[in-house]
């Protein structure tokens, strides 16, 4: 999970939401991924998807049997579906996602009994650290947006003053 958190930090350094993923097989790292939706202009460029894509290319197979995916944030429905289709054996995630989590928080797609594959799930691994990484990012982002709005208002006021008729 520490390596996944490092991937998340790399995403944050690029201005992305800090989520990281690491795929492991037989105690060896197969692939890593981090969010890159903004940079790639691709809503599917989540950390998990990036990691699964890289792994598929490396092993030359879309089936990623007997693997464990470590992710800093509970996967969304898209990523959960990709894990089921790629036959990842086990999912380990840090922070729960109470808004879009698809591994138990909102829905549980990775263990749905009607699907032809279910994953073993372990959650809460470094949960506090993963949650804090995300919380700090969003706190900073909200503060930056607030400062941008304040600066925009200041510039508009200066512009209005310069356009006012002289008395």
Question: Among all residues, which ones are annotated catalytic?
Answer: 48
Residues 6+ apart with CB under 8 A from 100: 76, 77, 106
Burial label for 7, CB within 10 Å (0-12, 13-18, 19+), is buried
Q: Quickly list DSSP for 139-154.
A: HHHHHHHHHHHHHHHH
- Asked if residue 32 lies in contact with residue 40, where contact means CB atoms within 8 angstroms, the answer is no
d(Cα 117, Cα 115) in Å, to the nearest integer?
A: 5
């Amino acid at each position: 999970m520490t390596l996944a958190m490092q991937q998340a930090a790399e995403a944050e350094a690029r201005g992305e939401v800090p989520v990281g993923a690491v795929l492991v097989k037989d105690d060896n790292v197969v692939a890593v991924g981090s969010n890159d939706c903004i940079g790639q202009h691709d809503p599917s460029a989540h950390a998990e998807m990036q990691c699964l894509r890289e792994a598929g290319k490396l092993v030359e197979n879309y089936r990623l049997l007997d693997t464990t995916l470590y992710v800093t944030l509970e996967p969304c429905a898209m990523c959960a579906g990709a894990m089921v289709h790629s036959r990842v054996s086990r999912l380990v995630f840090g922070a729960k996602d109470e808004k879009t989590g698809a591994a138990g928080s909102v829905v549980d797609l990775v263990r749905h009994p009607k699907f032809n594959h279910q994953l073993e799930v372990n959650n809460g691994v470094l949960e506090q650290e993963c949650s804090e990484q995300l919380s700090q990012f969003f706190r900073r982002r909200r503060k930056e947006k607030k400062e941008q709005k304040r600066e925009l208002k200041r510039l508009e006021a200066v512009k209005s003053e310069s356009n006012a008729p002289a008395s």
